[in-house]
Structure formats: C-alpha cells, structure tokens
C-alpha cells in the first residue's frame, strides 16, 4: 500500500524525465490507488532501454565477429586468386618456344627478327572438287597467288588437320587451311604501309580462291588458332583461362589480362612443352617434325593430299619464298653443275672429261629460269608435324607417312636435333628455321599445297598422277 502524500501544485519530472501525475485516494488506508503510472512507466522504460543497450552490444559484437571472418576470408580469397594467377604463367622456356614477340590489336603479329605477319583463312569454296576440273582451277589460282608475291614477301601455307571424334577416331573431322604473309619492316607503322600495298593485289586473288571477299584474321582469331594448335583437343576459348572469379567471360579482355600481369603466351601456351632429339612432348601428347628433303624429278600430284589424309592430328607447312630472277639463275646453274659432277663420279669417267665439257654443261641450265619474266621460282620448304597420344602410335604414324613418301619417291626424314625449330616453322607465324633451299617454278610448287575439299572427297592412296619438271 502506498502512503498518502501532499502533492505539489504542479507536476514534477522524474530523473528519467517522465511526468508523474497526481495520485488520488479515498482516505482509507486499505484503499489502493486508482492508477500510479509514474513509477511503473519509469521502470518499464529503463528495462526497455537496457534491452536496447544489450541488443546494441550484441549487434556490435556480431558485426565485429563478421568483420573478422570477412577479413580473414578476404585474405584467403586474395591469396587463392594470386595462387591461381601464378599457376597460369607458363615457364620462360615454353614462351621462348612460341615464335612471336608482339601481338597488335589490328591482327598483325611480330614473329622473329623484324618480321611482321598477317593471316587469312583459305576455304577453297570457289572450286568444285567433285571433278578434276575443280582441282585444275585450284592449282591455277594458287599459281597466280604465288606469282603475285615479290621477293620481299614471304608466304606460308598451313594446313591444320584435326583427328576425328571418339565415336569415329579414324575420320577427319576438321581440315583448315591458312595463308600467312610475312614482311620485314623497321616497325609496325612501316609494316602496315607495306601490307596496304600487298593487300591491293592480294584481295582479288583471295576472292578467286574463297569465292568471296576475305578479310584478314583478327587478333582474337589468330590467338584462338594458336591456342588450338598448342592445345590439341581443347575446344574452349583461350581467354576462358582468365575466369578466376564468378564472372563469365564472353570475349577476350586485354585489361583483365594486364591487371593479372599475364601475357598472350600465358593464355595460349600448353602446360608444358619439352623437346627431344627426334620428338617432343606437349601436355602429355607426343609430336614429331619431319621435313621434305628430296624432291624427285617427277612429282606425284596427289602426294600431299594423301599425306594430309593420314589419320592423325597434324600441321603441314609450305614456305614458298619468291626469288629474284638472277638468284634463280645462279641456283639453277649450281644444281646443273652438281648434277654433272655426280654423274661423272658415278660413271667413273671424270678423269676423261675435259674442262670445256663442264663449261658446256654450264649453259644447259633449265629454260624455266630464263626467257619468261612472268614465270617465277620459289625456294620451297615443306614441313610436317604429327601428333599422337603415345610414343608407339607416333612411331607407327611416322612409318606410315614415310612409306607413302617412298612410294612417290619422296624423302621425309625426321629433323633430328631440330624439333623445336621445325615445330616453330609449322605454326602459322611465318617463321622458317628449317630451310631446305629446294627451287621450283611456282606451277610445280603449288602441287605441294593440299586441297582440303579434294582430300575429303577424292583421296587416292599413293598418288597416281605425275607431273614432270622437265616438261612444259
């Protein structure tokens, strides 16, 4: 029970700042107040305030705990990201084995030395390979292409053959062909100016081959092609390597690459690349480079088509360096003299031969190098890189290809001690480290250009048609 007090005339404020109303009573000590709100409300308010304070303290403690966890997780995530980026970087030895120095946004790639290259895909869509006439038209178009290049331009034809699917591993699922045009220049500006001149004559000839206007391959296209060559069987785009977070990449982002301190070689290179004397290992797969060393007087017209039809993944590279007329004449004379010397030694009559007889033979060099300014000659280098899943498979494929070559009187020895240089000469970058210096007129040189459409429709094992170099 509460005792009666004389209330002041006005309301007062509690310590809590709550106004307490006057208490009314009947005067009986047993009477209970009608309502005594002041003290009850103050206590209730204090209780609520304490609860709020406690809640606030709990919230602060929770936030601090979460911050600590987030900070710890962030550090771990950052550390994980750095680890993954570091894992993407390929060894310097592997980078050096990929023969280019700079990549430009306009699709030009600087390879070795001061050589700049552009690349075009060749579809051969303008030709009907259902009959022999289509094949003849293709040869004529490629002859015109080779004849158009001046000696300061280095063309390279690359055939990329990919092995069949798991369902049909013996089939050829994809055969693509590319033209690489290389020029020497002091810098990219000079190179672009030279390419502008070359393109004026090149585009109409490409239209004759592809049946439509053909643009040069973009930077992304070329990097993707190199990625597929160095990672056979891997179909994902090369830039997918940069998907280190939750963001999905739909295109190549230079800024992201530079932010990660990566190079284009980090994105396209295989995980490992090791070269031995007569083979190499690339991401667990075996490869071998073989080079055409001897070309017979009579050429098997279908040999390269048969070679490219081998049931394996491979690269076939044809370097055809245009020659100055006087250079071609000099080489032709040297070849004739060498042939005469070998003949004299073989018949054992060299001692009976008079000096003037050799001089007479010196004038017997092929007519193909004189009298016709429009007829051009090239220094031809043919290189092939074959891939296999096992070493035994590599050996079997090598024997199969050499058997076909011998059947057509060609020699395709392994480039012993030159596997790295040979492989670099096969990729579409205009690099030729295995020069064989085999001189041929352009009309005969184009016989070494495989025709994918013809390969897939009309391959003839061993080759049955022949073209003589000594006959017009």
Q: Give the tens place of pLDDT for each residue, 277-302.
A: 999 999 889 999 999 887 888 888 77
Looking at residue 332, its pLDDT comes to 58
For 335, left (φ over 0), alpha (ψ -120 to 50), or beta?
alpha
Looking at residue 325, its pLDDT comes to 62
Mean pLDDT of 111-140: 93
Mean pLDDT of 436-461: 80
The model's pLDDT over 160-181, given as tens digits with 9 standing for 90+, comes to 998 765 555 555 668 899 999 9
Looking at residue 25, its pLDDT comes to 36
Least confident interval from 220-234, 258-272, 326-340: 326-340
Query: Taking the model in full, what pTM does it have?
Result: 0.74
CA atoms within a 13 Å half-sphere pointing along the CA-CB vector of 145: 29
Q: What is the mean pLDDT of the chain?
A: 78
Looking at residue 365, its pLDDT comes to 42
Task: Please tell me which residue, 304 or 252, carries the higher pLDDT value.
Answer: 252
**What percentage of the chain has pLDDT greater than the value 70?**
68
Looking at residue 338, its pLDDT comes to 57
Mean pLDDT of 372-386: 83
Mean pLDDT of 12-37: 37
Mean pLDDT of 91-110: 93
Domains and CATH numbers, the chain: 98-231+270-323+376-468 (3.40.462)
**pLDDT band at residue 329, thresholds of 50, 70 and 90?**
low
Looking at residue 207, its pLDDT comes to 97
Q: Check pLDDT > 70 for residue 84.
A: yes
Least confident interval from 135-149, 207-221, 284-298: 284-298
Task: Please tell me which residue, 360 or 387, carries the higher pLDDT value.
Answer: 387
Least confident interval from 44-48, 54-58, 395-399, 456-460: 456-460
**pLDDT band at residue 1, thresholds of 50, 70 and 90?**
very low
The model's pLDDT over 36-60, given as tens digits with 9 standing for 90+, comes to 334 555 556 666 677 777 777 777 6
Looking at residue 100, its pLDDT comes to 96
Length of the chain: 472
**pLDDT band at residue 364, thresholds of 50, 70 and 90?**
very low
Looking at residue 370, its pLDDT comes to 44
Mean pLDDT of 462-468: 47
Task: Please tell me which residue, 126 or 21, carries the higher pLDDT value.
Answer: 126
Task: Please tell me which residue, 262 or 73, carries the higher pLDDT value.
Answer: 262
Task: Please tell me which residue, 316 or 460, carries the higher pLDDT value.
Answer: 316
Classify strands 12-13 and 19-20 as parallel, antiparallel or unpaired.
antiparallel
């Amino acid at each position: 029970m509460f005792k009666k007090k004389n209330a002041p005339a006005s309301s007062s404020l509690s310590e809590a700042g709550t106004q307490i109303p006057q208490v009314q009573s009947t005067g009986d000590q047993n009477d209970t107040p009608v309502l005594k709100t002041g003290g009850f409300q103050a206590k209730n308010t204090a209780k609520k305030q304490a609860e709020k304070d406690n809640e606030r303290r709990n919230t602060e403690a929770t936030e601090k705990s979460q911050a600590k966890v987030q900070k710890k997780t962030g550090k771990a995530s950052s550390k994980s990201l750095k680890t993954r980026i570091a894992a993407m970087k390929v060894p310097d030895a592997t980078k050096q084995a990929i023969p280019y120095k700079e990549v430009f946004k306009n699709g030009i790639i600087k390879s070795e030395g001061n050589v700049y290259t552009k690349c075009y895909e060749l579809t051969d869509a303008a030709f009907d390979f259902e009959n022999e006439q289509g094949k003849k038209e293709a040869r004529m178009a490629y002859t015109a292409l080779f004849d158009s290049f001046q000696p300061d331009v280095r063309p390279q034809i690359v055939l990329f053959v990919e092995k069949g699917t798991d369902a049909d591993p013996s089939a050829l699922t994809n055969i693509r062909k590319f033209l690489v045009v290389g020029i020497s220049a002091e810098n990219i500006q000079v190179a672009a100016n030279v390419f502008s001149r070359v393109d004026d004559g090149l585009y109409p000839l490409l239209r004759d081959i592809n049946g439509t206007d053909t643009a040069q391959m973009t930077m992304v296209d070329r990097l993707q092609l190199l990625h597929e060559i160095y990672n056979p069987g891997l179909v994902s785009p090369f830039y997918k390597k940069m998907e280190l977070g939750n963001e999905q990449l739909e295109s190549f982002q230079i800024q992201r690459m530079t932010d990660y301190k990566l190079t284009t070689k980090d994105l396209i290179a295989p995980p490992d690349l090791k070269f031995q004397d007569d083979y190499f290992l690339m991401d667990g797969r075996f490869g071998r480079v073989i080079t055409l060393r001897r070309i017979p007087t009579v050429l098997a017209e279908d040999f390269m088509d048969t070679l490219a039809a081998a049931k394996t993944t491979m690269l076939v590279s044809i370097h055809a360096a245009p020659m100055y007329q006087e250079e071609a004449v000099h080489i032709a004379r040297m070849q004739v003299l060498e042939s005469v010397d070998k003949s004299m030694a073989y018949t054992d009559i060299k001692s009976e031969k008079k000096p003037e007889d050799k001089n007479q033979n010196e004038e017997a060099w092929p007519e193909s190098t004189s009298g016709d300014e429009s007829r051009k000659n090239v220094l031809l280098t043919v290189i092939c890189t074959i891939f296999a899943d096992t070493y035994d498979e590599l050996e079997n494929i090598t024997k199969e290809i050499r058997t076909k070559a011998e059947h057509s009187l060609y020699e395709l020895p392994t480039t012993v001690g030159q596997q790295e240089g040979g492989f670099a000469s096969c990729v579409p970058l205009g690099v030729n480290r295995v020069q064989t210096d085999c001189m041929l007129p352009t009309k005969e040189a184009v016989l070494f250009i495989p025709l994918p459409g013809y390969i897939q429709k009309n391959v003839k094992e061993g080759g049955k048609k022949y073209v003589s170099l000594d006959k017009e």
